[in-house]
Amino acid sequence: MENILSAINKLNGVHHVCLYRDNQDMLSTFPDEHEGIESMAQMIEQIFSALQSIDKSHNELYFSVEDKLLAAYLMYDSYIAILLTEKKINFPLIHMGIRSASAKLKRHIALSSPPIATPATAVDTPAVKKIADPIATPTDPILEPIMDQLLNELINYFGPAAKFVFEDAVIQWETKHVKNRNTIPELSLILQEELDTVAEKRAFSQFVTKILR
C-alpha cells in the first residue's frame, strides 16, 4: 500500500496524498499540521455514499484550497484517494495515475485474500481464458496473440492476480509508448519490475524475446 501511495505522490504537480477507506484504513503523506485530513476524508466518503444512494456515478470531487486544489477520487474496493495538487494540474495524467493505482489496489487485495482455486485449477484452460478476456482486446491482429501469451505467462508467477499485474503494466506502457509490437520490450521491462528475483526477471525476458522472434 505504501508503494501505491508513493506512486501517486510522484505524479507531477501532486504535493500530498491520502488513501482512506471505511474509517479504518488510512495512509497519508500529509504533514502533521494537516491533522484535519481524516475529518476531510470522512466527509468526502459521506458525499460519495450519498451520490451512490441516488444512483449517481460520480467518482471524483474537487475543492479549491487557497492556491491549491484538493482532489478526491473513488477507487477500487471503496478506497478514496485525496490529493493536494497545484491549481493548474495535468488532469489526464492524474486520471491515468489514479487508474493505475486502482489496478494496483486490485492486485494487492487479490494477493492478500485467501486463494479461491488450487494451483492445479488456476492454470487450466477455462481459468486462463477467463482472466485473459478483459485484457486481450487490442485491434492489432499481430499484437493480440502476443498480449495473450504475456498474460498467460504471468499466471505462472502471480496466479489469479496476474490479470491485475498485467492491467497496471499496460496502463503504464500506454502512457509512455505507442501500443504496438515494436514497444513490447518496454512493456516487458515494466512487468519485470513486479518480479521478485533476478532469475525470474531473466526468465521472463528470455520468454519475451522468444515470442517476438
pTM of the model: 0.55
pLDDT at position 113 is 64
Residue 165 neighbours by CB distance under 10 Å: 24
Angle, alpha carbons 77-91-147 (nearest 5°):
60
| CATH placement of domain 2-95 | 3.30.450.30
Q: Which residues of the chain have pLDDT under 70?
A: 32-35, 57, 113-140
Kindly list the domain boundaries of the chain, sorted by start residue: 2-95, 117-211
Sheet of 80-86, strands arranged across? 25-28, 14-21, 80-86, 68-74, 60-65
Which residues of 29-175 form beta strands (DSSP E)?
Answer: 60-65, 68-74, 80-86
